[in-house]
Amino acid sequence: MRFRRAAKKKEHQMKAWQYEGDRKPIALNEVPEATAGPGEVVIDVKAAGLCHSDIMYMELGDAVMPFLPMTQGHENAGVISAIGEGVTGWSVGDVVGVCSSGERPPAGMFTHGGFADQLVANAADLARVPEGLDLALAALATDAGMTSHHAIMKTGGATAGMKVGVIGYGGLGQIGTRAAVLAGAEVHVAEVKEDVWPLALAAGVAGVVKDADEWAGQNFDLVVDYAGFDTTAKALAAVRRGGTAVQVGLGKPTFTVPTNAILGKNLLGSLGGSVADIEEVFALLLSKEIEPVYTEIGFDEIGEGLERLKNNQVTGRLVARFGD
Ligand SMILES: [Zn+2]
């Protein structure tokens, strides 16, 4: 799959949505075009997801970002338009997603992100987008998809025959649940919003409860907490001796666990993921085994979209489509 280069831009300049500091709203600026250093590629961005982390990054930005202004956007997919020195295995025209928050510091926080015509990425962070996969879905796979897949399949090690609990059937929980179901695990969901229960049941889960405390003593092999609303103790109460609770969600900044609840059990945190996670999620999206809900917006609507996200006026995900 190949795309034309974005037209109509001023020579050597491109547009970028940037955090400028002082808690100012994100601003649309003209910046120099991207160039690829050694080991890097330039990507013409075609789709970029909007994420609550963008808002968190801007809140922390003045204290943490190594330079300002900083282009936001860490869920990106597009087409390689230039290749830096020493890069092998990739060509101009390749369609890729970028792993922006795996082992390397996240784009949008420490390096420029993808709310721009172009993005520079390390070649080691590229995931190959299969022919036929929509780039909005590919962009989503790089963050929510990667994180949820990694937590349940890699950190939690979900496999066939395991009894697995998922706390929180939101954007992450939906993907994690489906990945574990497809792997052959018996998956149970705890979700307070009863209106999404039919979705969970349609995804092939064995049962849904309102509150994870109903699982106490039921000898789960693994519970993954995508909510994090002080639900860790409930996860630990559900797992058997030798079983594992994985914490992913950050609904509340702290949790309380009775000291004896952790004896004989494992409690792990899971952060981000890898290119391999992203490519596995690409395959699940391409085969329509996972169908996330999202809304497309234009590049010029990114600033307004982040405001809507901040004010909790968004259901599902927002993905900006541009550059064609
Ligand atoms: Zn994100």
User: What's the pLDDT tens digit per position in 44-58?
Assistant: 999 999 988 899 899
Question: pLDDT averaged over the chain?
Answer: 93
Same domain, 216 and 294: no
Q: How many CA atoms lie within 13 A of 83 on its CB side?
A: 12
**pLDDT > 90? residue 324:** no
What span, in angstroms and rounded, lies between the C-alpha atoms of 299 and 73?
12
Q: Are residues 171 and 220 in the same domain?
A: yes
Question: Ligand 1 centre from 215 Cα, in Å?
Answer: 30
Residue 147 pLDDT > 50: yes
Q: What is the C-alpha separation between 161 and 158, in angstroms, rounded?
A: 9
Domain contains 29: yes
Distance 67 CA to ligand 1 centre (A): 20
pLDDT tens, 90-133? Answer: 999 999 999 986 557 789 999 999 999 999 999 999 999 999 99
For residue 299, how far is its CA from the centre of ligand 1 (angstroms)? 17
Q: Strands 294-298, 317-321: parallel, antiparallel or unpaired by DSSP?
A: parallel
Q: How far, in Å, is the centroid of ligand 1 from the Cα of 96?
A: 17
Is the per-residue pLDDT at 1 higher than 50?
no
Q: Are residues 99 and 209 in the same domain?
A: no
CATH number at residue 41: 3.90.180.10
149 vs 274: CA distance, rounded Å: 10
As given in the structure block, the two tokens for residue 3 are 């795309």
User: Looking at the 3D structure of the chain, how many domains does it have?
Assistant: 2
Ligand 1 centre and the CA of 53: distance in Å? Answer: 5
Instruction: Give residue 24's domain range.
Output: 13-143+273-321
Same domain, 31 and 126: yes
Written as one letter, the residue type at 60 is: L
pLDDT tens across 255-310, in order? 999 999 999 999 999 988 999 999 999 999 999 998 887 899 999 999 999 999 88
Which pLDDT belongs to residue 105?
Answer: 79
- Answer yes or no: is 61 within a domain: yes
Give residue 7 CA to ligand 1 midpoint distance, Å.
Answer: 28
Residue 15 exposure: Cα atoms within 13 Å on the Cβ side: 17
Q: Which residues pair with 31 in a beta bridge?
A: 14
pTM of the model: 0.87
Tokens of 201: 């049941």
| CATH code of the domain covering residue 167 | 3.40.50.720
Ligand 1 centroid–CA 224 distance in Å is 19
Q: Are residues 217 and 297 in the same domain?
A: no
Per-residue pLDDT tens over the stretch 152-201: 999 999 999 999 999 999 888 999 999 999 999 999 999 999 998 999 99
